[in-house]
Amino acid sequence: MTACTKKVRFERVQSPTLKGLGFDPEEGSSRGNTVCLHCGATVNSQHVKQEGRAGRMKHQLIAVIITKQESKGKIYSDVNDFKAWIPSEEHIQEGIVELCQEEHLTLPDEPLPKEDSKNFWTIEYGLTHFINLFTLRQLLALLTFTAEMHHAYEAMLEEGVETERAVAIVTYLGIMMDRLADYNSTICHWHNTGEKVGHTYARQALPMVWDFAEINPFGGASGNIVGALTWILEVIRQLADSGQSALVYRTSGSQLPLGNGIFDAIITDPPYYDNVSYADLSDFFYIWLKRSIGFLYPEHFTDLALRN
């Protein structure tokens, strides 16, 4: 930390041992409790939460991680080497506003469930809406993909592709984009040992993450858009090769719209009472599906009262 500005400055260091680093990277913070680097005063988690709820908690870029094209491993670079490559937040904000106006898109400003403190830890720190879980860069990327999916659907119809086929293709693209969102939020942490990005739902909750990794959607690293598409294609091939068709219903598991005695067995995953808020947690994906493919399935995306 520089004394004149009271701003934290990060420097890249490397050593195979803790002693060689000259400091303990885990020292000074535990479960939201930390120590002021300027004066040494203890800052407890309640104060941090209070500052977050007051809108005074921000994020700062620490390092840039580069993938190698010809070999494994990563290159960890100082932020100063890439400042000229990183657009300002004002520039990105202008791009988001322009995109939303031109494509008639909306930001994911749906609120997180305020009454649930077990599965949604970010609320205590002032991150109360889904939009708070994304950086401006991430929002611009996801909204751009959403707009291009709409364009792809219109282009397929203009080229004479059957409507049902076009709907199916864009639906798969919607799932692909949900996978991208899972690896492109401020809840994504960095796997130090695997040197890769972890996804949002590494656990059955939206935890508070103190340092997060932000991917380049086209960068070729884990979680990128090509990887998301590859996963979707593999599933499609596996299902197509099974020779069995599938029926998907949006309904209660206790009241299936099917006749009696037609199944050999019914397998279900228990709801675990209210220990895990599965429905609310899945809204992380719902909000993007609503924007990407909601126009294809209005019967499933018109009941927005609980989510707006």
Q: Is the pLDDT of residue 102 over 80?
A: yes
Answer whether 123's CB lies under 8 Å from 114's CB. yes
Longest dimension (CA), the chain: 77
Q: Is the pLDDT of residue 57 over 70?
A: yes
Q: Is the pLDDT of residue 35 over 80?
A: no
What pLDDT sits at residue 307?
Answer: 41
- Tell me what the mean pLDDT of segment 243-247 comes to: 80
Q: How far apart are CA 127 and CA 78, in angstroms?
A: 28
Q: Is the pLDDT of residue 29 over 70?
A: no
pLDDT digits (tens, 9 = 90+) for 81-92: 787 888 899 999
pLDDT digits (tens, 9 = 90+) for 248-277: 888 877 788 888 888 888 887 766 667 788
Per the structure block, which two tokens stand in for 126? 């002032």
Per the structure block, which two tokens stand in for 204? 């059955």
Report the mean per-residue pLDDT for the chain: 86
What pLDDT sits at residue 271?
Answer: 66
| DSSP state, residue 120 | B
What pLDDT sits at residue 4?
Answer: 64
Per the structure block, which two tokens stand in for 43? 């800052």
Q: Is the pLDDT of residue 65 over 80?
A: yes
Answer whether 236's CB lies under 8 Å from 243's CB. no
Q: How far apart are CA 250 and CA 289, in angstroms?
A: 15
**Placement of tokens 């611009």 in the chain:** 140
Of the pLDDT bands very low, low, confident and very high (cuts 50, 70, 90), residue 211 is confident
Per the structure block, which two tokens stand in for 240? 């197509």
Of the pLDDT bands very low, low, confident and very high (cuts 50, 70, 90), residue 308 is very low
